[in-house]
Structure 1
């Protein structure tokens, strides 16, 4: 299989993954309204997802040792599509919770598989390409929220929306599957090693947790923020600008950022942009400044996760797949525990105050990144 065809196939799965997540997340305000639940109850419902996703870590080592990554990737992606359709069909909290449980589990499996394939493909290219995969994921998010915005304007309900998207994405995944890379099963380094923790991998995990907290929270609560705080009818506006700026930053990651900037500076700038963007959006909760703030946050969060995955792929203790699986656990905690926490804080102190926690998480990226690079120098 040519590297070019494999790259296109992996890119297609990143695209589908992004559309799936955006399609569900951009409909959260509708789900809240349909189920008649408050922010705290929504936060409780979202707790189903991290619990499910963490269960995937138990089987990660076994999957990496026994299968090429293309097998769990297509299996997980089809499960994602079925779960997305099930969300659209859910008419009570029990069926919705079950659908979210399986959606999160499939997100976990596909996330590990496709990021492992991306890191391994990167090693066969002389130029940086990893950022392009994450740009495709973000572009998928733009497509997902753009489609939702269009369907909202056309008064299309959640049921035909999510079922239609699920069918379309399943077809794309099946078509791309034959062109995925093969022979990338990890022969060693796919077992968790007991003993002294890998300090540098721990710091990478914390970095991805902080970025994922911001990213996941923005996915799930930006629509609610624009609907309840900014008070605009087209509440996907903030999510849309966030995703556009995230995508643009990830396109620049390969062509400019990785080549011309030190990774220490990447984390510094990202930290300041996340913090500054949130402060702008919360201090001036009006359409233009809020959209500008969300845009800055999108650019800030964009490069942290792909850069951190690349650094994890160089682990000397674990295979690329297992290292990614380990730090993906931190990503899951941030991406999925963050939104419920925001719901609980919002119910107690208000949604605008709860968004300040994103600023705190963004600010912490700076000192943790310094600790990581210091640990790498000490190990050298």
Structure 2
């Protein structure tokens, strides 16, 4: 009698390489947009309020596309949708760069946001499929590649725009994106459509009631909204908090989001190993507690240096909460994967896009220190319902 040992999948399979490259491209194009904003505003004669509305077009485009892409994934699988949207991103930066009027620029930004947001849903769905096939967590490192792409896009964009202008920069960024899509195209994991019936061990299982299934998805989405809101709060208001309330210099105040994002990127590349070792629920709980401690420290800090340490701790904590929540959403039993991920992504990015405006209004009356001390209170809800994150480990069963 002979026994057969199944070899473990390679750590960097072609499918993992492809989906990681999708995250890198998406982050790179978002990062490439940031250094274009000053020239964009100057060329179209936009003041701060006008520019804010234009940037909102990008966010609205993303939020409009996410549910539609979720339905497409359920019917067609994530690979085809992801690659089609990735190919569409190649034209977006040039279109924004050459838009001759405010209305056409607003339309270009809406399309840009829609393509980027839709691709976000599709690549997260594809990453869930790769996790299932390989029985190994990869979602945190994928989000780490997104962060890395954002840094690369912003850094390279600043250099190219200063040296060669916005048109050369747009063409160069799009060419790099095209090369990435070409590399990923033959390697991306092909997954079947996800019908409304779940199949377990080859036997169809009836779909849970809409109310019960919906409650689980929406609760996971609320968890994402809560853990992504502090990222927007630190991005938009962290530097102002250090400058106005803690007397930091302009150079030092810039480290608020810098420390947060650097710590987040580092921990995301370590997060998959931690999650595989200790499980999604334990990793999520420890991460949430660390994030709460970091935010509390930043809000109670007596100096800018201590606040920066707090923001870095918060980055370490929040780094893996969102990837785990996305993996959990993609594995909720009896639900179309694309639909679940689109709901969670929609709610999470709503937190980044719209919560900072509310926070700014409240901070006019309370100050930012109280805001950062209050945010950990909201993280209690994800901590209480962290048991839902067990679905992120489903592919390893």
Q: One fold, TM greater than 0.5?
A: yes
**Match of residue 120 from structure 2:** 111
CA 1:303–1:329 in 2, change beyond 3 Å: closer, same or farther?
A: same
Rounded to whole Å, the distance in 1 between the matches of 2:132 and 2:320 is: 19
Partner residue, 1:265: 286
Q: Which moved more, 1:65-74 or 1:237-246?
A: 237-246
Residue 230 of structure 2 corresponds to residue 214 of structure 1: yes
Question: CA 1:273 to 1:156, structure 2 compared with 1: closer, same or farther past 3 Å?
Answer: farther
Q: Tell me, in whole angstroms, the C-alpha distance in 2 between the residues paired with 1:184 and 1:227.
A: 52
> Does the aligned pair in 1 maintain the 2:74–2:337 contact within 8 Å?
no
State the alpha-carbon separation in 2 of the partners of residues 80 and 225 from structure 1. Answer: 35
Spell out the pairing of 1:182-193 with structure 2 (5 A cutoff). Answer: 182-188=190-196
Q: CA deviation at 1:254?
A: 1.3
CA contact (8 A) 1:199 1:375 kept: no
Name the counterpart of 2:106.
Answer: 97
Number of the residue aligned with 2:380: 366
Q: Aligned equivalents of 2:100 and 2:314: distance in 1?
A: 34
Q: 1:131 aligns with which of 140, 143, 147?
A: 140
Give the structure 1 partner of residue 351 of structure 2.
334
Matched with 1:311 is: 328
2:335 aligns to what SS in structure 1? coil
Residues 189-338 of structure 1 mapped to structure 2, 5 A cutoff: 194-195=210-211, 198-216=214-232, 218=234, 232=250, 239-257=257-275, 259-260=277-278, 262=282, 263-277=284-298, 280=301, 284=303, 292-338=309-355
Aligned residues: 368
Higher relative contact order (CA 8 A, sep 6+): 1
After TM superposition, give the deviation of residue 120 of structure 1 in Å. Answer: 1.3
5+ residue gaps, structure 2, are 1-8, 199-206, 392-397
Q: Distance in 2 between matches of 1:227 and 1:19?
A: 29
Q: Give the 3-state SS of the residue equivalent to 1:198 in structure 2.
A: helix
1:182 deviation in Å?
Answer: 0.8
Deviation at 1:11, TM superposition (A): 0.7
Shift of 1:101: 0.6
Could you state the TM-score of these two structures normalised by the residue count of structure 2? Answer: 0.76
5+ long unaligned stretches in structure 1? none
- The superposition leaves residues 289-315 of structure 1 with CA deviations (integer Å, 9 ceiling, x where unpaired) of 675454334323311110111222331
Q: Output the CA distance in 1 between the equivalents of 2:164 and 2:241.
A: 22
Structure 1 residue 45 displacement after superposition: 2.9
- 2:202 maps to which residue? none
Deviation at 1:361, TM superposition (A): 4.1
Q: What residue in structure 2 maps to residue 80 of structure 1?
A: 89
CA distance in 1, matches of 2:373, 2:41: 25
Deviation of the 1:14 alpha carbon: 0.8
Query: Structure 1 268/294 Cα, relative in aligned 2: closer, same or farther at 3 Å?
Result: closer
Deviation at 1:29, TM superposition (A): 5.4
Cα deviation digits, residues 92-113 of structure 1 (max 9, x gap): 5323322221122112211111
Correspondence for 1:18: 27
Aligned partner of 1:48 among 50, 57, 69: 57
Deviation digits for residues 215-242 of structure 1 (CA, Å, limit 9, x no counterpart): 3455567788899996647997655544
1-structure distance, mates of 2:234, 2:94? 23
TM-score, normalised by the number of residues in structure 1:
0.79
How well do the aligned residues superpose, as a CA RMSD in angstroms? 3.9
How far apart, in 2, do the equivalents of 1:110 and 1:41 lie? 27
Largest Rg, 1 or 2: 2
Alignment partner of 1:59 is 2:68? yes
Q: CA deviation at 1:255?
A: 1.9
| Structure 1 counterpart of 2:203 | none
